Amino acid sequence: MAASFLFNPTTFLQSSSSSSSLTSQKHTVKRTSVCKPLCILPNYPPNISKRSLSISLTSLFILSLTGNTTNANAAILEADDDLELLEKVKQDRKKRIEKQTVLNSSNKDKEYLQDVIYKLSKVGQAIENNDLTSAGSVLGQTTDADWLKKANAALSQLSSSPEEKSQVDTFNLSLTFLYTSVTKNDIEASKSAFVDSATAFEKWTTLTGLVGQLKGL
């Protein structure tokens, strides 16, 4: 069917009206030979398939052919969002690996933090028994106690995110109130300050991933 549209209608009628069938056949052959090269499809280069091209870029190309610039722009934004999300995932994974490396190599810091859990446990038992004298002896006279200095050094070393540092600040502030309340022999204030201190410390261990590496939590 497609080849018939390549013949000139006038030429085709003249060739069919000749008296000689042989001449007609020759004309037909001649016309066919002229048509033949015209029917050959152009030699286009083969399509190259690159598996590395993303689906987003392919969709964008199709949309650009249709002239739908709105959807094309949306596809660009979607591709950018995907790249940003992928980069964020990579960065988060890198931070987790770095954090885990630090935790695994911080045995001394974990010893200081384990001591914090031990002392908070003793202080909590004493406050529960309304024995602030014993609680004070475990805490020490002031916030300059050696165990607390070591604990703060470990907390600072292992805190990297704003959330972790915020919990450290809450822990130290609550512990300061605890010292003051115990010194004043204020049992109710001591209970409240102790709960706040213990809660902040527990949240910090959860954020840093140490909750499963320290005993007594």
When divided into structural domains, the chain yields a total of 3
Angle ∠(154,157,160) on CA atoms, nearest 5 = 130
Res 204 pLDDT > 80: yes
Q: What is the mean pLDDT of the chain?
A: 74
Within this chain, do residues 92 and 110 fall inside the same structural domain, yes or no? no
User: Is the model more confident about 105 or about 163?
Assistant: 163
Does 92 lie in the same domain as 112?
A: no
**Window from 45-54, 70-79, 136-145, 180-189 with minimum mean pLDDT:** 45-54
User: Residue 155 pLDDT > 60, yes or no?
Assistant: yes
In a domain, 192, yes or no: yes
Do 110 and 91 fall into the same domain?
A: no
* Mean pLDDT confidence for 33-45: 45
Confidence band for 70, pLDDT divided at 50, 70 and 90: low
- What range defines the domain where residue 70 resides? 55-97
What is the CATH classification number for the domain harbouring 179? 1.20.120.290
**pTM for this predicted structure:** 0.55
